Structures are given as structure tokens and as C-alpha cells.
């Protein structure tokens, strides 16, 4: 197997950079670098059947992934998650083609495994020994796990009120975990300041070029799962936005290889009202988002007040005829219960937010019952157990003579 990675190209000014050394952002304009592949050659090596027959993890796309030597791949079996029909959730509108992409089944319980799996593998290939990252929570879990598997030193910085499990995972995986008085952008400042002197490679969202290559595989998989015709809409809970950027790139690459046509799903970004910079910029017709003041939401992964890839997301949302929409934390809580109860999918608040948004868009007609729609259940609610109040379940005694009457 051979990777057809060519180089890195700035998504903003077009400057090109070597992929044989560590890169972060564009040296000319500071914006996001995207990996480029020789797709003409790649398509001669692989076809849809080859991809279908390979082991079911995200590295089955090796030719259009950034690692050159398969021995450098650091994997925990990420990717190839199920696409589950969600008929009960769609029933109120008679929707027959609503699906959940169940990313909570990834290692460390979220889709962050894909991005960090790719970033750690490429970093290993380029000789990195220590990595630093800011995180809203799940990215830190994933980085800690892949770092452990690669034998690297990991330093993660998270807001101090991050869900407990993310802290516990980092500790168990042997990462150096720090809690920060502030939000993810404050965590990012710390990593930026300390990385040069400590020798850490900074894998902040979209400031490192390969996390989005891992997230890209969600788009590749969707194409495969929809039999090489993309769905009509994708609803994606947006923090830093790597998934939207990655999937949009995946569709472009698949079209260039001739595997799909020019049709694109409506790319719909969901945020929480307590932190909705992309929604605000979308509504104001802007290409760049301002820092969202006093960001606050129960969906930790959506608490990202500023995103370096804002223009790529907003361009994709607009070009696809999608939209950016916010929902309240109360709506997210309701949706968490609905998704769990209706479909048996234990969706994190971020994932449940997509259903809360879906309901609005079905009610106002933006989405139609006959359209195929994918909700991204990006992480497992196992990671956020503290958000679930106990139900006050009755306690019964096996020796109680009235047992039968106590159990309804
Ligand atoms: C569960 C969950 N959903 C969604 C997101 C947002 O993902 P992205 O940064 O790709 O927009 C995160 C990020 O932390 C997350 O943990
Ligand atoms: Zn540039």
C-alpha cells in the first residue's frame, strides 16, 4: 500500500508546503493547511471493491491518507462506524430516511479518535516524541490513548470544568493532564506558549494538518454506506469544525477520483445557543466569526468560542445550501433522552443537539420527509454520565412477601 500524499496547500492563500517535515499553519497568512493527494494515481491503485474488502477501520483508505509507511500507523480500530436507520425519531414527520452515524463506538467513545489517530500516526512518522494539545475534552481523551499506544509523552490542557471522564481517561492513559481556568482558546494559548520551549508538537484543531484527514474518513464512509450517492443532508455538531472541513474535502476527493458525482449534501452546522459563533457569522453573512463572549453550554465539545477554520466551514455550509442553526441546552437535554429511548443510541449532548436541530428544520420545512438525513452522534453519553440525573428507581427486597405487588 502506498500513500499518494503530495504536499500541503494553504486553504486561504494557496501557498504550498512540504509534507516531509512537520507543519502547522500557513507561514504566509496563518490559515489552515490541507493535505493534497495525487488522486489520478491513487484511483489506479484502489477501487470500490478493494476498499470494501479491506479490514474495517479508517486506514482502509490508506492511499488517500497521509502516512507513508504502514508501520507508522497507530491504530485502536477507529472508524467504520455503523449508519443506523432512525425510524422512530423520524416518525413524527413520516421521515423514512433519517440515519444516525454512531461515532460513539469509536475508541475513547468519540469521533475524536479518527482525527487523533491520524495526527499521532503522522507525527510518529515525522519523529515526534511529545505532543501538546488544548481540548474541550474528547480530543484530550483520544490524544492520550493514541499517545499511549505510540509511546509518546502527551500534555493536554482542558477547561477546569471538563466532564470528569475526560480527566480520568487522560490520567489512566498516562498523559500529563492540566486543568485551565478558562476555555479551550485559553488552553490553546498555553500550548502555543509552552510548546516551542518544551519541544511539544502542537496538535490544536486545524493548526495541525492531519487531524482533518482522520475526520475526512467520516465522509468517505458515508459515501460508501450510501452506495456512492451522498445523503441529502448532514447535521454536524460544530466546535472547531474539523468534521465539516474533513467531510467536505472527502467529497471533493471522491469526485475527483470519479467515485461520486457533483451532488453534495446540505452541510448543516449545529451549535448551542450558549456558544454559537458559526451560527452568528452565518446569520450575519460573514465569512469569519468573532470570538463568542461568555461561552457556556452543557455540550462541552461545542464550547469553542473561536475557530481558525471558520471560513472553510462557512464556505461549505453556503456552497452546499445548508445552514447553521443553534439549539438551547434545554432542547439538548430533551433530545438526549429521546435519542436514547427511541433508538437505543446513547448520544452525547453534542450528538443529541443534531436531533434537536433536526426537529426545528422538519417543523419549518427546511428539511423534507423524503430527504435522506444523517445525524452525527459524535460521542457516547458514557463520557458525560454526570449530566444524567438518577431516576429514583424503586429498591426491592427479594424476600419481601409483597414483592409481586411492588413491581409494576
Ligand atoms: C462529542 C463531541 N461532539 C462534537 C465536537 C465538535 O467537533 P469539531 O471540533 O470537529 O467541530 C466535539 C469536540 O470536542 C466533541 O467532543
Ligand atoms: Zn496561506
31 vs 374: CA distance, rounded Å: 29
Residue 287's SS3 state is: coil
Q: Is residue 64 one of the residues assigned to a domain?
A: no
293 phi/psi in degrees, rounded to 5: -75, 145
389 phi/psi in degrees, rounded to 5: -70, 145
Ligand 1, atom 2, lies closest to the CA of 301
- The cell numbers describing 5, all together, are 500524499
Q: Look at residues 349, 358, 355 and name the one whose alpha carbon lies nearest to residue 386.
A: 349
pLDDT at 180: 98
The predicted model gives 232-261 an average pLDDT of 97
Please check whether residue 121 is in contact with residue 151, taking contact to mean a CB–CB distance below 8 angstroms: no
Q: Give tens-digit pLDDT for 354-379.
A: 999 999 999 999 999 999 999 999 99
247 vs 232: CA distance, rounded Å: 14
The predicted model gives 180-193 an average pLDDT of 96
Residues with CB under 6 A from ligand 1: 110, 112, 136-139, 205, 237-243, 301, 348, 350, 378-379
pLDDT at 34: 98
Q: Is residue 374 one of the residues assigned to a domain?
A: yes
Q: Give tens-digit pLDDT for 150-168.
A: 999 999 999 999 999 999 9
347 vs 170: CA distance, rounded Å: 21
Residue 11's SS3 state is: coil
For ligand 1, mutation pick of 112, 143, 184, 277 (most atoms within 8 Å of CB): 112
Q: Is residue 286 one of the residues assigned to a domain?
A: yes
For ligand 1, mutation pick of 138, 206, 349 (most atoms within 8 Å of CB): 138
pLDDT at 109: 98
168 vs 171: CA distance, rounded Å: 5
Q: Is residue 176 one of the residues assigned to a domain?
A: no
Beta-bridge mates of residue 307? none
Q: Give tens-digit pLDDT for 110-127.
A: 999 999 999 999 999 999
Ligand 1, atom 1, lies closest to the CA of 379
Q: Model pTM?
A: 0.97
- The cell numbers describing 29, all together, are 497568512
Q: Is residue 151 one of the residues assigned to a domain?
A: no
31 CA to middle of ligand 2, Å? 5
Q: Is residue 154 one of the residues assigned to a domain?
A: no
Q: Give tens-digit pLDDT for 117-154.
A: 999 999 999 999 999 999 999 999 999 999 999 999 99
Neighbours of ion ligand 2 (CB under 5 A): 10, 12-13, 15, 26, 28-29, 31
Ligand 1, atom 9, lies closest to the CA of 240
The predicted model gives 277-298 an average pLDDT of 97
Q: Is residue 389 one of the residues assigned to a domain?
A: no
pLDDT at 146: 98
Q: Across all residues in the chain, what is the average pLDDT?
A: 97
Please check whether residue 74 is in contact with residue 107, taking contact to mean a CB–CB distance below 8 angstroms: no
Give the number of residues written for the chain.
Answer: 408
pLDDT band at 383 (very low <50, low <70, confident <90, very high): very high
Give percent above pLDDT 70 in the chain. 100
What atom of ligand 1 comes closest to residue 136's alpha carbon? 14
170 vs 154: CA distance, rounded Å: 9
pLDDT at 379: 98
Ligand 1, atom 15, lies closest to the CA of 301
pLDDT band at 299 (very low <50, low <70, confident <90, very high): very high
pLDDT at 92: 98
Count of the separate structural domains present in the chain: 1
- The cell numbers describing 186, all together, are 485559553
CA atoms within 13 A on the CB side of 231: 34
293 DSSP assignment = T
293 vs 109: CA distance, rounded Å: 29
45 CA to middle of ligand 1, Å? 33
The predicted model gives 207-227 an average pLDDT of 98
Q: Which residues span the domain enclosing 270?
A: 83-109+210-383
Q: Can you tell me which residue has the cell 445552514?
A: 323
128 CA to middle of ligand 1, Å? 25
pLDDT at 133: 98
> Domain of 355: which CATH number?
3.40.50.1100
pLDDT at 74: 98
Q: Is residue 346 one of the residues assigned to a domain?
A: yes
Ligand 1, atom 16, lies closest to the CA of 301
Q: Kindly tell me the burial class for residue 53, based on how many C-beta atoms sit within 10 Å of its own C-beta (0-12, 13-18, 19 or more).
A: exposed
Q: Look at residues 2, 237, 8, 212 and name the one whose alpha carbon lies nearest to residue 104.
A: 237
pLDDT at 38: 98
Q: Look at residues 159, 212, 153 and name the one whose alpha carbon lies nearest to residue 184.
A: 159
Residue 150's SS3 state is: helix
Q: Kindly tell me the burial class for residue 160, based on how many C-beta atoms sit within 10 Å of its own C-beta (0-12, 13-18, 19 or more).
A: exposed
Amino acid at each position: 500500500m502506498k500513500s499518494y500524499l503530495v504536499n500541503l496547500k494553504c486553504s486561504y492563500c494557496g501557498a504550498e508546503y512540504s509534507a516531509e517535515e512537520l507543519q502547522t499553519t500557513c507561514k504566509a497568512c496563518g490559515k489552515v493547511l490541507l493535505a493534497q493527494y495525487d488522486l489520478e494515481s491513487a484511483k489506479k491503485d484502489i477501487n470500490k471493491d478493494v476498499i470494501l474488502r479491506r479490514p474495517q477501520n479508517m486506514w482502509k483508505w490508506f492511499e488517500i491518507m497521509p502516512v507513508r509507511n504502514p508501520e507508522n500507523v497507530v491504530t485502536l480500530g477507529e472508524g467504520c462506524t455503523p449508519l443506523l436507520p432512525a425510524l422512530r425519531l423520524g416518525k413524527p414527520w413520516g421521515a423514512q430516511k433519517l440515519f444516525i452515524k454512531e461515532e460513539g463506538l469509536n475508541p475513547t467513545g468519540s469521533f475524536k479518535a479518527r482525527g487523533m489517530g491520524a495526527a499521532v500516526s503522522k507525527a510518529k512518522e515525522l519523529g515526534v516524541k511529545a505532543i501538546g494539545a488544548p481540548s474541550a475534552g474528547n480530543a484530550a481523551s483520544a490524544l492520550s490513548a493514541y499517545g499511549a499506544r505510540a509511546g509518546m509523552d502527551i500534555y493536554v490542557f482542558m477547561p477546569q470544568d471538563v466532564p470528569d471522564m475526560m480527566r480520568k481517561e487522560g490520567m489512566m492513559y498516562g498523559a500529563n493532564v492540566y486543568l485551565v481556568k478558562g476555555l479551550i482558546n485559553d488552553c490553546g494559548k498555553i500550548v502555543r506558549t509552552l510548546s516551542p520551549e518544551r519541544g511539544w508538537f502542537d496538535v490544536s484543531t486545524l493548526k495541525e494538518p492531519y487531524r482533518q484527514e482522520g475526520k475526512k474518513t467520516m465522509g468517505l464512509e458515508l459515501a460508501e454506506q450510501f452506495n456512492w450517492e451522498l445523503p441529502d443532508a448532514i447535521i454536524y455538531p460544530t466546535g472547531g469544525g474539523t468534521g465539516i472541513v474533513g467531510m467536505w474535502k472527502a467529497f471533493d476527493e471522491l469526485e475527483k477520483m470519479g467515485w461520486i458525482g457533483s451532488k453534495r449534501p446540505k452541510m448543516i452546522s449545529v451549535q448551542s445557543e450558549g456558544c454559537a459563533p458559526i451560527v452568528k457569522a452565518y446569520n450575519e453573512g460573514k465569512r469569519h466569526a468573532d470570538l463568542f463572549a461568555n461561552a457556556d453550554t452543557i455540550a462541552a465539545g461545542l464550547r469553542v468560542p473561536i475557530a481558525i477554520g471558520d471560513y472553510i466551514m462557512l464556505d461549505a455550509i453556503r456552497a452546499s445550501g445548508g445552514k447553521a442553526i443553534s439549539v438551547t441546552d434545554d432542547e439538548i437535554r430533551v433530545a438526549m433522552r429521546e435519542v436514547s429511548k427511541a433508538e437505543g443510541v446513547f448520544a452525547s449532548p453534542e450528538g443529541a443537539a443534531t436531533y434537536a436541530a433536526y426537529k426545528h428544520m422538519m417543523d419549518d420545512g427546511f428539511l423534507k420527509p423524503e430527504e435522506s438525513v444523517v445525524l452525527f452522534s459524535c460521542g457516547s453519553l458514557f463520557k458525560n454520565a454526570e449530566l444524567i440525573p438518577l431516576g429514583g428507581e424503586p429498591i426491592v427486597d427479594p424476600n419481601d412477601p409483597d414483592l409481586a405487588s411492588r413491581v409494576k
